[in-house]
A and B are shown apart, each in its own frame.
Chain A
Amino acid sequence: MQLGFLVDLRLCMGCKGCEIACKVENEVPLSTWRLRVKYVDVGSFPETKRTFTPLRCNHCANAPCERICPVSALHYIENGIVNIDKDRCIGCAGCVMACPYGAIYIDPQTQTADKCTYCAHRIASAMMPSCVVACPVEANIFGDLDDPMSNISKYIQEHQGNVQVRKPEKGTDPHHFYVGGGNVTLNPLASFRGEGHNLFNNLTHLPVGGHH
């Protein structure tokens, strides 16, 4: 079994329901996110559009975070999920430095690394990840990539040529796919990003360094 995620960006309307569901399900502290939706505005008025990109851990087959973790706190489980053992983590932040997707953060409450686990605890109870359940337009598609009859496998088959991953040049082999993505949605360097573009708080920098 190899679990994977696919987000159809053509369906996503940026409601952030997935973001909130994830926060509630996993008790993610304020100012940190396991999953978030990035808004990017493209073009000049009146020819403008807004894109929405849900971003979470890519659960890579060749995960740099798993490789750099000195104590195997980040580890693979049999269904392909890159899980984290917070009781073992020493908080060295090597994984934060290694993840090319910026998906890992230091939890300010536990002072350990944390990230999306595809809701491994829910999957163990045969439930879907909370973000999948919360999505009102079924833009989040989750399932077994090894099963050709699973929804995600069928979706990838149907949309061949329009399925992308973030930063394929990194060689991480992500198990998180996007349909309808492009340079602006998937490449962080393709859009201007200044400080202060946060509607819900006035943080300018994430407190990822914890005690520093």
Chain B
Amino acid sequence: MAHEIIAATNAVVTLDVALPGIVWGWIITMNMWAKSIGTGIIFIAFYLLKKYPEQTGFIRLPSVVISIVFIHLFLFFTVIDLHQMFRFWHIFFYPHMTSMITIGAWLATGFVGIILAMAYFLYMKKDEAMYDKLLVYGVVLAVPVTLYTAGLMAQSTARELWQMPTESIQMMLAAFLAGSATMLLVGGNKFSDTIKKDLALILGFSAGTAFIMYMLELFFGPMKAEEVIATLEFVKGGEYTFMFWLGQIVAFLIPMALVCKSIKDKSYYLLKIAAVSALVGLWITKHVWLVIPQLLNMS
């Protein structure tokens, strides 16, 4: 539509400031990617410990350690992205509670407290019952911690592409995808074939659903607004087309294909490749979706 308007007006900007650069770049991509793993592993650990308590006790420690590492990576990237990173404490001392950044910071702090407590009771006190009790609270808090970024993107009202409610579902799917992939890599051959199949199904379902949603946004998103049309042109023949499709293939299509083959053959050695592919592709996919709305001139 933008092309038609420009053709009709025959208007050209002849003097203005330079085009805006990318404000939220790879550091924010790392932030979202690390958070997906940090919360996703908790979701998957909870599922496995509830469904297969006898066979999956060994995942308690690696799950919480991975969650701690990746949530702190998420926090690290959040802080270093600030142009005034040493003022980070302002969020806690001058909080503005309408901001999803503030809410996210408080939620993430609460989540960190719970997973640290889980690690403490498991490692220092050898108290698995308390770990399992805290895990329930961890899962409850992991949901808003996963979702708040979608809220933040929705508050970025200038970026029309992110205004879709599907962004929230994509965040949850990213967590399930990253969590199941990480668990497959952590558990390795210690899992029974039944558990591997369960994890493969979660991975495949998350990848498939996320892929379908991206395709829906790609083809039907332009119905929403002129700005969405202009934004999606960057992945429809524009400069991010290759990266977009690379992300879709590596994050979703390859894992889906490998999951289908594994389940069909009842042989699960390919799942580790699927897991690595999903984790790498998730970063690429998130990065493209983060960057393209920022390439659009607002004025």
Chain A residues close to B by CB (< 8 Å): 31, 33, 36-44, 50, 55, 64, 67-72, 88-94, 96-103, 106, 111-112, 166, 169-170, 172, 183-184, 187-195, 197-199, 201, 203-212
Contact = CB atoms under 8 A, between A and B. Distances in A.
Contact of B25 (A37, A39, A209): A209
A102 B294 CA distance: 10
B5 A183 contact: yes
A207 B156 CA distance: 20
Nearest to A112: B84
A68 B99 contact: yes
A64 B91 contact: no
B159 A97 contact: yes
A184 B157 contact: no
B200 to A, nearest CB: 37
A40 B56 CA distance: 65
Interface string B1-37: 0100110011111111111111111110000000000
Nearest to B105: A70
Nearest to A182: B9
Given A99-B158, A101-B298, A189-B5, A211 B19 contact: no
A88 B90 CA distance: 7
Contacts of A170: 157
Interface residues of B, number: 54
Contacts of A71: 87, 90-91, 94-96, 102
Contacts, number: 201
Contacts of B152: 68, 94
Contact of B16 (A39, A166, A211): A39
B69 to A, nearest CB: 24
B23 to A, nearest CB: 5
Contacts of B81: 92-93
Contact of B230 (A44, A69, A189): A189
Contacts of B25: 209, 212
A198 B19 CA distance: 10
A188 B6 CA distance: 10
Nearest to B102: A70
Contact of A39 (B14, B26, B156, B227): B14
Contacts of B91: 70-71, 90
Contacts of B225: 169
A57 to B, nearest CB: 11
A68 to B, nearest CB: 5
A68 B155 CA distance: 6
B57 to A, nearest CB: 40
A93 B20 contact: no
Contacts of B15: 37-39, 197-199
A48 to B, nearest CB: 9
Contact of A41 (B2, B12, B156): B12
B16 A193 contact: yes
A103 B297 CA distance: 11
Contacts of A88: 87, 90, 94
Contact of A92 (B2, B20, B82, B299): B82
